[in-house]
Amino acid sequence: MGVNVAKEVAALQRMTPKVLARRFAEVFGEPTNARNRVWLVRRIAWRLQALAEGDLSDRARNRANELACDADLRLNPPAAPRAPEPAAAAERTRTKEPAAEADSRLPAPGTVLTRAYKGATVQVKVLARGFEYAGTVYGSLSAVAKAVTGSHCNGFLFFRLHTKGSAA
């Protein structure tokens, strides 16, 4: 009795990659390391169809080989791009000064931000690059707020720095 390819393909769609890999080994007679569902389903479906309805004819195989022999295959990788002329590169390159201004909501380095949270006083020292809390330097106020609260939190809102010129 023949295999109903449509039902087999429908069943493949519901399988996990691990089960598909086992099915691939059954159909092809060799294991695969692939775990890409789409690829496995396509390959197995192709093989099931080829087994049920017949593979390519000898004439089609020969024609495919002829076409492959006539194809312009690249034997060498493409040449590496040449380096641009120094003058040309200088004309195209524009330098931009880095933004030296810090966020206007942040107080000057050395300032200690104080906030009462759940009965404890949280003190954070503003550094030139980062924030020091409990002996650890954090890259942002949000990182400090997360360390204090245990959940993601906007650091400016947590320390009440969300308005320009507000004091801590």
Q: Which residue has the higher pLDDT, 59 or 96?
A: 59
Domain boundaries, the chain: 1-71, 112-158
Q: What is the pLDDT of residues 122-131, one digit of tens each?
A: 999 998 888 9
pLDDT tens, residue by residue, 20-67: 999 999 999 999 999 999 999 999 999 999 888 888 889 998 998 888
Most confident of 2-6, 54-58, 74-78, 99-103: 54-58
Q: What are phi and psi of 114, to 5 degrees?
A: -125, 135
- pTM flag (> 0.85): no
pLDDT in tens, 134-152: 888 998 889 999 999 988 9
- Return mean pLDDT, the chain: 83
Give the full edge-to-edge strand order of the sheet including 120-127. 112-117, 120-127, 130-133, 136-138
pLDDT recorded at residue 164:
57
Taking residues 98-105, report their average pLDDT: 66
Query: What pLDDT does residue 88 have?
Result: 60
Specify whether the CB–CB gap between 134 and 117 falls below 8 A: no
CB 32 within 8 A of CB 20: no
Bridge partner residues of 114 (DSSP): 123
3-state secondary structure string across 109-160: CCCEEEEEECCEEEEEEEECCEEEECCEEECCHHHHHHHHHCCCCCHHHHCC
